[in-house]
Each structure stands twice: as C-alpha cells, then as structure tokens.
Chain A
Amino acid sequence: MTDAATTTWPPDAAVTGPDLPRLLPPAPLDLARHIGVHGPLRYAGTPRGLIKEIRAAGLTGRGGAGFPAAVKMTAVADGRGRAVVVGNGAEGEPASHKDRHLLWLAPHLVLDGLQLAAEAVGARRACLYVHRHDQLLRLLGHALAERSAAGCDRIRVEIVPAPPRFLAGEESALASRVGGGPAVPTFKRPRVFERGVGGAPTLVQNVETLAHVALIARFGAAWFREVGTVAEPGSMLVTAHRADGVSLVSEVPVGAPLAEVLGLGRRPAQAVLTGGYHGAWIPVAQAATLPLANAALRRAGASLGAGVLAALPPDRCGLAETARVLRYLAAESAGQCGPCLNGLPRMAGAFTELSRPGADPRCLADLERWSGLVAGRGACHHPDGTVRLMRSALAVFSGEVGQHLAGWCTAGAPAGDRGSAGGAGPAAAPFLPLPAAGPGSSRPTRSRPGRG
C-alpha cells in the first residue's frame, strides 16, 4: 500500500472549527486513554434505543453514499434472521486516507461503535473489514486484546482483510468477501441489508460512521447537532489535497467553507475535485463559494462522497490528471459486466487521446457514445461514477479541450510535443494520488467477450 501523500506513520492531522476535534485525537489512544477522554462504553440497554437517538441526530453514512444511518439500521434490525454488522474500513479510494487515520488514532471509537451498532440491530456477528496493512492490523489486534481483557466487548470482532482494490469497499463486494468469497460486487437481488453475509441481514457502516455512533451514544443527539448544519449535522473527516501538494486528513464541521478547508485563498488552484474519483470537478471560482455540504454541492453537480477534496494547481493539465484516473478506474473494473469491461478502457483510451496536444477530434464523439453505453449497465456503480468524473472534467476543462484539439496544452507542453503519458510539462509530476502500478496489476480480473 503506497500513499502518495501521507506516507509516514503516525499520520499528521490538522483540525478546523470549534468544538473539534471529536473523532481525531492528536496521538493514538489506547483503551485507558480512550476511556479517559470519552468515558466508558455504555450500552443502550434496549435494542432500538440507540437507533432512535441516531435518527434524532440525523447521522448519515460517511462512506460516500450519505445514507441515513438510522434508516439502514432499522431495515437490518427488521430483517429476517440474526444480523451481521460489518465496519467498512477498506478505503479502496486511493485519494482517501481518513479511514486509516481514524483507525490508527482512535480505534476504540470505531470498535465501540461496532459493538453499539451490533446491539442496536440484534447482531451476533461483528466484523471489521480493513485494508491488509501490517502495522494497522497489529494495532487493531492489540486494541481488541485490550478490550477483551477489559471485558467491554459483547461480541467478538473478526478482522477481515480487504484486497487493495478500488471496489473492495463496495457494499456487495464487502459482503461477498466477508462471506468468504472474492471481493467483487454481486448482482443485488436482494440488497445486502436484507440478505448479505451468509444470507443474513447485514449492516455495513463506514468506520467513521461507527465512530460517530459511539459518541452519539455517550453524548446524545443534541450534542451531535451542535456542529454542522441543520440539514446535514455533525462533523466529518475529509482528506484534503491542497494545491501546494500537502495532503491532510482533517475533521471539519459539515458546511464548513470549502475554500477554508483547501486553503484556496493562499494557494491558487484552477479547479477542485470533490467526492473522490467517482466525484466531480468544480471550477475554482464556484468552489470557493461553496460549503462542504451535499445540498450545495449537488446543485453544482458534485457531492461530498467520502470527503476527498483536491485542489488542482494552475500548472497542471486537468485533462491529463483525469486521464490518469480514468485509466486507473478502467483497470479497477471487476471485469464481470460486459459494458464496464469493454467501455471503461475505451473511454480511458479516448480521454488519454484528448489529454494530449493535437488530439484527434473523433475522441469526443467516442467519449459521448461510450459514456452513454456504460452508465447504469453494470452490477455496481463503478461505470456510473467513472462517467460522472469524465463528464465533469469535459465541462470544467472545456477550455483545455479546445486547446488540445488545436495542438496546445496550457499546462506546459507546446504543440507537437506529445511528451509523456501525463501530457503536462516535463517538470510536473502527477498530482492526483494513484497506487503505483506493478506489472500485470492493470488488468481487470476476468476477461469477457467483446466484438468492438
């Protein structure tokens, strides 16, 4: 596992906003210190009691979908059979570091939340799904041992390692992996909350959501709502990739000004990416006026996602950066569905053509056709998210598109100089973080027929 940005352990975290941090301590907390800071874990007593409090708090999932946690928990609690709870810490998105930071600094908050969620839905089995990182696994093992010695866990927590793939954290891929199968999405009939791991109703919650649950159980819904907006309460973790190349994980109130979180005033940028690699680009002028809240971001055609934000510096080519990400996303296809397996690499190829000065203008028509062919035709939302990113890049970097068709790249490479695959000037390294590609790592897992 390589992080382009926060590669050193323990990670560095900055915070903004009053009454914060709630989730992220400055240094990792063991069980004793955790209890010292937050108080002991207190179970709700009644199975549905906590769900009521979470509903009042308005907590939404922090894994990207933003689905109301209370609704999900109720659905699982109502399901047939003994439920299973899985804390999703797989964090397959390469630009996101918040989950591993949280697990590193405050594992007991997540583990408290896991126990409380299990109590709320009547689960008898609890799992923590995390990336296969030795240091992190050791830390979690140690934390679980502490809890077992202290006797605060009612259910034994099983650590399930996730492969370092983009789709590993997808809900049905998670259910498949926890159930002993491969970490690839399944055809969703029925949904995971009805029949997931081993046919049992499965509650899948991002580890950050579970951490919030742990605090709501202690301090209540009203406390949770003291920070954030009325419509979208609470705090959230963001991974901010600033234009000066520094990447930070921060805990911010929902609704905080995007400009402040990314430091747009002091560090010039040309565009902002929100929602990660299935998110969307926003022009910087517009981004500077927006709060970090779904209501406003959706009006701009974007969303919070799992809190990944990136401010693209002016000396980079937005098309080249997007092309790299699209190539990565194409390689990360599970390879199970024909349209995705066939369409995403072609889209990436056409966009790569567009990202070079002197681009063949046919690629625009091909991009339009292929994006229309893949959206909505996979078993998961991988093609949809990829199309969203691509279309937002075409819109936000439309000026650059015109330049490239005319033979120029304003990021540095003059006409006729195809340069490296990055397309930017020779001095500029790639900006958006991607895992280092090893030989053979760029092929989807299965091959399907295609006649194109």
Chain B
Amino acid sequence: MANRLRVNPIACAGHGLCAELLPERVTLDEWHYPVVSGEPVPPELESLARRAVTDCPALALLLERIR
C-alpha cells in the first residue's frame, strides 16, 4: 500500500519547504515551484514526507494512496 506525493498547484505559492525536507522526491524549478516525482514514497522517507505535508505553509502538498 504505497503512497505518493502530489502538489495542489493552485494552493502552492512556491515556499519550497518540501524540496528542503525531501530532496529525494521534490526539486524546485527555475521559478521556485516544486517538481514532485510521482514515484512511490519508500517507508524510510515516509515520516519526512508526512512532515513536509504538515509543514507546507500553504497546505499544498498531499500524500495520497497509489491506486
């Protein structure tokens, strides 16, 4: 039951915390907006991913089940 990260692009304001907390899955483009890898989040990164979701100032990052 894997999870993956997804950005709500309307809510996202380009703060960039997600890329700092989880560079393995999130990089920033040249306008400081997140490019989120759609790969599943492995268990060792799970808690960091949840922290990135909670810490996003715009609450724009989501962790969702891969169906």
A377 on interface, CB distance cutoff 8 Å: yes
CA distance A336 to B30 in the complex (A): 17
State whether B29 touches A373 (Cβ < 8 A).
Answer: yes
Decide if A81 is an interface residue (CB 8 Å cutoff). Answer: no
Residue on A with the closest CB to B38?
Answer: A376
**Residue in B11, B29, B30, B33 whose beta carbon sits within 8 Å of that of A187 in the complex:** B11
**Inter-chain pairs besides A338-B13, A373-B35, A450-B32, 6 sampled, C-beta below 8 Å:** A186-B10, A187-B8, A337-B10, A342-B33, A379-B8, A451-B31
Could you give, for residues 18-47 of chain B, a 1 whenever the CB lies within 8 Å of some chain A CB and a 0 otherwise?
000000000001111101000000000000
State how many angstroms separate the Cβ of B33 from the closest Cβ of chain A: 4
A66 at the interface (CB under 8 A from B): no
Nearest-neighbor residue (CB-CB) of A373 within chain B = B29
Q: Complex: how many Å from CA A126 to CA B10?
A: 29
A424 CB to closest chain B CB, in angstroms?
Answer: 32
Tell which of A373, A377, A451, A452 touches B9, judged by Cβ atoms closer than 8 Å.
A377
Chain B, residue nearest A336 (CB): B10
Instruction: State which size class the interface on B falls in.
Output: 10 to 19
Complex A-B: 6 CB contacts under 8 Å: A187-B9, A338-B9, A338-B12, A379-B8, A449-B31, A449-B32
Does A444 belong to the interface (CB within 8 Å)?
A: no
B14 at the interface (CB under 8 A from A): yes
B30 touching A449, Cβ below 8 Å: no
Given contacts A187-B11, A337-B12, A338-B12, contact A451 B32 (CB under 8 A): yes
Instruction: Answer whether residue A448 sits at the interface, using C-beta atoms and an 8 A cutoff.
Output: yes
Q: Smallest distance from the beta carbon of A392 to chain B beta carbons, Å?
A: 24
* Most chain B C-beta atoms within 10 Å of own C-beta, residue among A337, A338, A448, A452: A338
Within the complex, the shortest CB–CB distance from B18 to chain A, in Å, comes to: 13
A339 touches B13 (CB 8 A): no
Determine if B31 and A187 form an interchain contact, defined as CB atoms under 8 angstroms apart.
no
Query: Which chain A residues have a beta carbon within 8 Å of chain B's beta carbons?
Result: 185-187, 336-340, 342-343, 373, 377-379, 448-452
B contacts with A: majority SS: loop
The answer to whether B32 and A379 have CB atoms under 8 Å apart is: no
Q: Give the 10 A-B CB pairs with smallest separation, nearest first.
A: A337-B9, A338-B33, A342-B31, A336-B10, A450-B31, A187-B8, A379-B10, A451-B32, A452-B31, A379-B9
- What's the Cα separation between A451 and B28 when bound, in Å? 11
Chain A residue with minimal CB distance to B28?
Answer: A451
List, in ascending order, chain B residues with CB within 8 A of A186's CB: 10
On whether the beta carbons of B10 and A377 are closer than 8 Å, the reply is: no
Contact status B9-A449, CB under 8 Å: no
In the bound assembly, the distance between CA atoms of A27 and B8 in angstroms comes to 47
Nearest residue (CB) in B for A374 is B29
In the complex, A452 Cα to B31 Cα: how many Å? 5
Bound form: Cα–Cα A343–B29 in Å? 11
User: What residues of chain B lie closer than 8 Å to A373, measured between beta carbons?
Assistant: 29-30, 35
Determine whether the beta carbon of B30 is less than 8 Å from that of A452: yes
Question: CB distance B29 to A448 under 8 Å?
Answer: no
On whether the beta carbons of A339 and B10 are closer than 8 Å, the reply is: no
A343 to B31, CA, bound (A): 9
Q: Tell me how far the C-beta of A53 lies from the nearest C-beta in chain B, rounded to whole angstroms.
A: 32
